[in-house]
Amino acid sequence: MGKVFQLTILIVTISAYGYNSTAQDLGSSNKLFGGKASEKPVTTKKSSVKPKVSSKKASKKASKSANAVNRTAVPAVRTGKDVPQTKSSTVGVSPKTTIDPSNENVFTALIADGDRAHNDRDYARAEAAFRRAIATRPGDYRGHYGLGTIYADQLRWGAAETAFRTALQIDPKIAITNIALSYVLTQPVSAPDILSRYEEAEKFARAALVIQPRNAVALNMLGVARELRGLVDLETERSFRQAIETSPEFAPAYADLGRLLRRQGRVNDSASAFDTAVRKAGDPASMVSVAQTLQSVQRFSDSIALLKKALALEPKNPAALLFLGRALMTTGAFADAEVILKKATEVTVGGVSGLSELSELYIRVHKLEKAEASLLNAGRYAEGFDRFGLARLFEALGDEYLKNGSRVPAVRVYQKAKELNPDLTTISAKIERAKSKN
């Protein structure tokens, strides 16, 4: 997680699941990409397709309800505070598909319950609701998408990627799912094929733009993916500027543009873009997003005020807690950082990021036993890419144990690092060296 070039965790609103009677409003809250929650329900458009109802004896009311379900609109996307919604065309169910109205009602209720739990940061309840929704209707992208957003909210990138890929496989023509997968693929994970992930992120951003050419989030993600690929050029800059032109109040795009301009050596323009981003960040998710981008250019002190503001409005925001803890740790406020990072681990039970960050803090302040306990706890939940990052932290902890002459603990944590990542070439020699001194 401690990379110089970090990406925005919260880019724009598309992640909650507020429902009206017929459609899942994936643009009504700020849990994945940022932005202010919408208070207006999403409206749906009529479809020319009239699907069949499985039972001939179904009441007219039930048939009407089933037809309304099948006229589900692609959810609107909000791109930041007070930014107008961008609506897309409707998606209908195949005429061959039969819908049991009672089954759909159960599905809708489960998604709504997942939405409420997500808004409350009750991730266990949200996950249970979305999994039950998937069991009810496994071929509906909305359950898988909902599952992906709660994983992304907790920075569980591997699980989020799997869920979003499943949602996209079910229906590849929904812009927000392409954007969500692009977003996840741009996160800083310990993956051996990181460049190919960035290339794929660009592909999904472009796919979203085919569906919604004026989608500010997709335009911004295109710029982010290209910049990660090392393409610090006019086309990348144009992507950020088009996102701003499309949604002038979209604070994260100004921050991302500021980072790009800084890399281009345009220091004054960069500072101006960052100032605008800070000024326009009016909701917790946008504040977190801009703060993280500030941290990516080593402006940790400048990020603290934004993160504290975000937490005053939303005390259980996982990313705000994590990045505030990191900023406090980097600026030497270790005691305060420990308090904040402990809160992050309490909010995201089952997540690895908070525990990893806390263990890094303990290593830095030489509380090695606490660092080991945190890493072992994180190891219980590690999956996919998490295992590689934890292996590196176990190795760093072993190095510190060895410096203190604590050879037995050093061997123990080195072996744990090797268990998590057998391909970590530096470990075997360190284990032998530690053992030889016993």
pLDDT digits (tens, 9 = 90+) for 131-178: 999 999 999 999 999 999 999 998 889 999 999 999 999 999 999 999
pLDDT at 19: 25
pLDDT at 90: 29
Question: What is the Cα Rg of the chain in Å?
Answer: 23
List the chain residues with pLDDT less than 50.
Answer: 1-31, 34-97
The CATH number given to 18-351 is: 1.25.40.10
Q: Which residue type occupies 272? A: S
pLDDT at 122: 92
Distances 374 to 32, 317, 354, 363, 397 between C-alpha atoms, Å? 26, 21, 9, 11, 11
352-438 has CATH 3.10.20.30 classification: no
Give CA–CA dist 329/365, Å, rounded: 10
Which residues, at least 6 apart from 324, have a Cβ–Cβ distance to it below 8 Å?
303, 304, 307, 308, 311, 340
Count CB neighbours of 153 within 10 A. Answer: 26
Give ranges for CATH 1.25.40.10 in the chain: 18-351, 352-438
The three-state DSSP-derived secondary structure of 51-118 is CCECCCCCCHHHHHHHHHHCCCECCCECCCCCCCCECCCECCCCCCCCECHHHHHHHHHHHHHHHHHH
pLDDT at 52: 37
pTM for this one?
0.77
Where are the extended beta strands (E) located within 117-257?
none
Contact 203, 65 (CB under 8 A): no
